[in-house]
Structure 1
Amino acid sequence: METFESDDGHVLVRLDRGDMALESLTDACEDHDVDTGVVVSGIGTFSNLNIHYVDRTDLPEDQTDRNADLRLDGSWEVTNVGGIVADGEPHLHVTAFDGERTVGGHLEAGCEVNVLGEFTVRKLDDLSLHREPGEHDISQLQRR
């Protein structure tokens, strides 16, 4: 991983083969003091894709029954990653294609970069956010 920071608060993150996407982005946020920010772009390829998505509308209280987890092997062309950093923790969504299907969802740990990854994080120094459980125990952004 290599990072570059502009004078106006943009952090560009280059991930190389073998880097772990979410883990590296979390490290980059820590290294560049990104407490609150926005991941405005992300592209690359992963050699595996770990995501979850909400697969129902009734939202049971037990969160383990709300999500479908996908652990997908093979080469995945990542066409977009975006999300918000709150309290230094990225909450990201991804869209990816393996040559046959397109999938999307919440990016989970364990996604290994296959060829490259390029991400842009925009620091928001004038705003301080964190997440707290809200209705149905859903993590919601709150001003700190």
Structure 2
Amino acid sequence: MKTFESDDGHVIVRLDRGDRALESLTDACEDHDVDTGVVVSGIATFSNLNIHYVDRTDLPEEQADRNVDVQLDGAWEVTNVGGVVADGEPHLHVTAFDGERMVGGHLEEGCEVNVLGEFTIRKVEGLSLHRRPGEHDVSQLQHR
């Protein structure tokens, strides 16, 4: 991983083959003191894709009963990554294509970069956010 920071608070993150995407972006937030921010762009290729998504509208109390975990091997072209950083923790969603199917969901740990990754994080000054459980135990942004 290599990072670059502009004078106006943008952090560009370059991930190389073998780097883990979410873990590296979390490290970049720590290295550049990004407490609250926005991942405004992200492209990459992954050699595996770990995501989860919600497949229900009734939202049972147990998160395990409403989330579908997906672990996919093979080459994945990541066409977009975006989300919010709150309390230094990125909450990101991803869209990816393997040549036959397009999938999307909440980015999980363990996605290894196949060829490259390029992400832009924008610090948000003057605002401190964190996530706390809300209705149905859904993690929600709140002022800290």
TM-score range, shorter chain: over 0.9
In the TM superposition, 1:18-57 aligns within 5 A as 18-57=18-57
In the TM superposition, 1:1-144 aligns within 5 A as 1-144=1-144
Q: What's the TM-score, normalizing by structure 2?
A: 1.00
1:122 alignment partner AA: R
Structure 2, gaps ≥5 residues long: none
Question: Residue 65 of structure 1: CA displacement?
Answer: 0.3
Q: What's the TM-score, normalizing by structure 1?
A: 1.00
Runs of 4+ in 1 over 3 A off after TM superposition: none
- C-alpha deviations, 1:30-80, integer Å up to 9, x for none? 000000000000001000000000001000001100101100000000000
1:13 alignment partner AA: V
Could you tell me how far apart the structure 2 residues matched to 1:9 and 1:62 are?
Answer: 38
Question: Residue 137 of structure 1: CA displacement?
Answer: 0.5
Question: Residue 125 of structure 1: CA displacement?
Answer: 1.6
Could you tell me how far apart the structure 2 residues matched to 1:13 and 1:22 are?
Answer: 11
- C-alpha deviations, 1:5-30, integer Å up to 9, x for none? 00000000000000000000000000
Question: Residue 126 of structure 1: CA displacement?
Answer: 1.1
Local SS of the residue matching 2:43: strand
